[in-house]
Structure 1
Amino acid sequence: MAMAMNVTIPVEEPEWNSKPAWKLPGWAEPIIVASILFTAMFMTRRRGFRIFDKSRSRYNSLLDTPESNRSSDELLAYNSNDDDDFDDYLTSAKDPPKQRNCCGTVIQTPNSSRFKNNIHSRILQRFPFLIEMFYWIINYAFYRMTSITSQKIFAKTGIWNVAQSHGIAVLETEQFSWISFLFPVPERDVQQWFMHGHQDFLTVLNKAYALIHIPGTVGFICWYYYVAPSHRTFAVVRRTMTLTNFCAFLTFILFPCMPPRLLPPEFGFLDTVRHDDAQSVWMSGKYVNTLAAMPSMHFGYAFCIGCTLVYHSGLFRRQLEKGEARKAWGWKLWYLLLGVGYPAFILTTIVATANHYYLDAMVATMFAGFSFLSNRVFYVFLPLEDLLLWVVRADKPAPTTGERFRERRGRI
């Protein structure tokens, strides 16, 4: 504990001059997120495909890689505008078992393409972005379970005390370990700068912390599905963010960590979030893990988004992807500045509001890098996906990633 005392520094809370930020009603944030998702679902719908009219259900898939993991692979090679030929093709198509490589072993899984004319399969074919929505619902469900699981693991020792000791250990690591040179300005000094003379800015950051994380990330996923040069590129980003999530979830469970704002007052942090009543509806409630500071998924998502925007700018690529248009220099610089500026803004936000430590952001960055290099690990779940599709009698749709954007490219 002697070392722990070295990181304490009582700070007298200054008088608050700014008023608490206006709080959105509890129903507003879910509606915002739902609106973003359903707008993306509509914008990326498959043209020329009718759910209830099979004679007008033709389409030309722009899918350009087998890594899309399309269930009905036979549709990819077909390209015809003749309705009778199309119906004959579907009637004569066979549905052999799919060959999946799982952990070095080739296994056979049922091919759900025989269910392509079921109503729910046709709805998915019309609105393939529904699959992406399903993936992120699974992500959110896993996050909800981290708090319950962690509490059960540390039930005997008391999760609050464990999380507090971990938070103090993070501060000690930043200030007294061999990596202390990476953190020349302590987190509390950043917060104190905002508290003395810049409280209005801090109120803005508090609100940004609450409102940007979920809607911003969901909005990015929707936008990139719409503009990505290929589904393969989009899928790499989605798998990277998902694996980063799971790495973080495992850490939340095994290493509960108290955010700086919840540490005892002698550590010098102020709970500005509570003062501004800036809790998001997604960050409150029975199943929300308030002791999940390590790592910062606010920054983890922001880092993934920033890297994607820099890649999308095309400034550091010699060749464009197939079907990708060259961007004007103005757009290239815009994507570059946004790709660098957004993570920097989120880093400032999480530190100034005392929601995270610097080390939280560093670990999130490491998880994102590891996830990018290892994102293909999700291929091991393909057999499970095939079985699930078979059980629900549905066929996985061919994605429309980038199709509508390329159709409008001449007008943008």
Structure 2
Amino acid sequence: MVEELKVNATVLAEYPEWTAKPEIKLPSWGEAVMFVTILFGGMFLTRRRNFRLFTRKGQYRSILDQTPRSSQSDEEQSFEFDTDTDDALLTHEKYPSKTRTCFGLFTVHTPNTTRFRNHPHSRLFQKFPFLVEMLYWLLNYLFYRMTTVLSNKLFAGIGIWTAAQNHALSILTFEHLNPLFPVRELDLQQWFMHGHQDLLTFLDRFYALIHIPGSMAFIVWYYYVAPSHATFAIVRRTMTLTNFMAFVTFVFFPVMPPRLLPKEYGFLDTVHMENAASLWQTGKHVNSLAAMPSMHFGYSFVIGCTLIYHSGVFRSRFEKFETRKGAFWKVVYVSLGILYPSMILLTIIATANHYWLDAMVAFVYCCIAFVANKVFYVLLPLEDLLLWIIRAEKPVPSTGDRFHAKGGRI
């Protein structure tokens, strides 16, 4: 079966010469500037406007002075303070501990960090609450970096590249025998190579530049426009849990993307052929053998679903301060929600960066993550302990504040 997947010399000779004119390549420093601009632009956009970062001692009062916080999102999984008044009086506790209830199964007492609300870094978090989201995604990146190290150790015997190639060929064999995949990845790429190379050049640039910057821009945008932080948190937790399931797969089932297979299988690495590779696709920080599942498609699918949800077309109930959108915006959100993941799917296949099965598994992971995203609540005690260690109070999210203050439209 593997032999049947190979492309003979005649077919390879039929590949036309690459004649597309490369688009202007954004330099590496330009990509870094774009990424930093998105993040720090998001910090500024989502800042708490009615909060002063610097103030005289004794004049400070903010939402953090409300104990417990009334504006807390359900992501925080409401906690109760110990209410044993006698004990509190005996121990003279000004800041009684928090009580975390995890899924109603067990209770954990964690330190109360409200006492640190006047610390400079607490005030910085309160002024720019999006900093917390940036820290969450930094942790995601650190876990991603571990996948390469762990996978190399796990497959040290046969070699990680050999294992990844074997897994890739098993995927191609499975797709070849399965009627769910009527169009081969190679056939799609050949269609672009024969007479549609300008389109493929566009897809190369789209693949290189849209995934990381586009996903982070979406996080910033939805943090700003979501009707509540609870709604935003569902999306963020879904993406994060999808990430973690993907990271486990990267470790135990490394897969070589089609573009890295031996030449006899016929795939072309068009992104690198025209030097279109992004900063996020090169260097030691990239796991080149993490094709399964496709997080390009996973992220785009979650983003697409969120855009369709945000349109309100398929909802009869709306959150507080949220109103129905006009016909124009409904069409815009629904169209983007369908076109964006469709465009990403076409791109990852045409550029030989993923297999159809990669996208299918990513879709399944996203669905599982959406249903089970509240599993992250079990980590709240750890978050409390970390905040205690760094002597900081977690800020109240600013998501939805601009609408709540105006009673306006979303």
Secondary structure class of the residue paired with 1:181: coil
TM-score between both structures, scaled by the size of structure 2: 0.90
Per the alignment, residue 166 of structure 2 pairs with 165
For the residues of structure 2 that align with 1:186 and 1:124, how far apart are their CA atoms?
A: 49
* Aligned match of 1:107: 108
Amino acid at match of 2:165: Q
Change (3 A) 1:293 1:255: same
Contact kept in structure 2, 1:63 and 1:399, CA below 8 Å: no
Mapped partners of 1:47, 1:59: distance in 2: 13
> What displacement does 1:22 show?
2.7
Work out whether residues 49 and 126 of structure 1, in 8 Å CA contact, stay in contact via their aligned partners in 2. Answer: yes
Matches of 1:332 and 1:315, distance apart in 2: 7
Match of 2:321 in 1: 323
- Which of 31, 40, 43 is 1:41 aligned to? 43
Q: Which moved more, 1:48-57 or 1:271-280?
A: 48-57
Identify the match of residue 253 of structure 1 among 248, 251, 254.
251
When normalised by structure 1's length, the TM-score is 0.90
Percent pairwise identity: 57
**1:77 corresponds to which residue?**
none
For residue 286 of structure 2, the aligned residue among 279, 288, 291 is 288
- In structure 2, the partner of 1:209 is 207
Candidates 261, 265, 284, aligned match of 2:263: 265
Greater shift, 394-403 or 25-34, is seen at: 25-34
Alpha-carbon distance in 2 for matches of 1:411, 1:114: 36
Gapped runs of 5+ residues in structure 2? 82-91
Partner of 1:98: 98
Matched ranges for 1:309-388 at <5 A? 309-388=307-386
Name the residue aligned to 1:244: 242
Secondary structure of 2:223's match?
A: helix
Any stretches of 5+ residues in structure 1 without a counterpart?
75-91
Correspondence for 1:30: 32
Q: Which amino acid aligns with 1:335?
A: Y
Question: How many aligned positions are there?
Answer: 390
Structure 1 match to 2:141? 140
Runs (4+) of structure 1 exceeding 6 A deviation are: 60-63, 70-74
Correspondence list, 1:39-188, <5 A: 39-53=41-55, 55=59, 57-58=61-62, 66-69=73-76, 94-102=94-102, 104-176=105-177, 180-188=178-186
CA distance in 2, matches of 1:21, 1:169: 35
Deviations 1:16-39 (A, max 9, x none): 111333322221112111111111
Q: What is the CA deviation profile of residues 209-238 of structure 1, one whole-angstrom value per residue up to 9, with x for unaligned ones?
A: 110000000000000000001111000000
- In 2, the alpha carbon distance for the partners of 1:263 and 1:359 equals 16
Q: Tell me the distance in 1 between the aligned counterparts of 2:261 and 2:61.
A: 59
Letter of the structure 2 residue corresponding to residue 29 of structure 1: E
In structure 2, the CA distance between the partners of 1:409 and 1:4, relative to structure 1 (3 Å rule), is farther
Preserved CA contact (<8 Å) 1:148 1:287: no
* 1:65–1:321 Cα change, 3 Å: farther
State the Cα RMSD in Å.
2.2
Q: 1:206 to 1:126 in 2, by over 3 A?
A: same
Residue by residue over 1:138-157, the C-alpha shift from the partner in whole angstroms, topping out at 9 and shown as x without a partner, is 11111122112111111111
Aligned ranges 1:387-402 → 2 under 5 Å: 387-402=385-400
The 3 A distance-change label for structure 1 pair 284 and 405 is: farther
Cα gap change, 1:230 to 1:206, in 2 (>3 Å)? same
- Asked if structure 1 preserves the Cα contact closer than 8 Å seen for 2:225 and 2:399, the reply is yes
Q: Is the 8 A contact 1:72 1:395 kept in 2?
A: no
Distance in 1 of aligned mates of 2:180 and 2:119: 57
Q: Residues 276 and 408 (structure 1 numbering): CA distance in 2 closer, same or farther, change over 3 Å?
A: farther
Q: Deviations over 1:315-355 (max 9, x none)?
A: 00011111112210110111000000000000000000000
Q: Shift of residue 102 of structure 1?
A: 3.7
Q: What residue in structure 2 maps to residue 404 of structure 1?
A: 402
In structure 2, do the counterparts of structure 1 residues 345 and 405 end up closer, same or farther at CA, with 3 Å as the change threshold?
A: farther
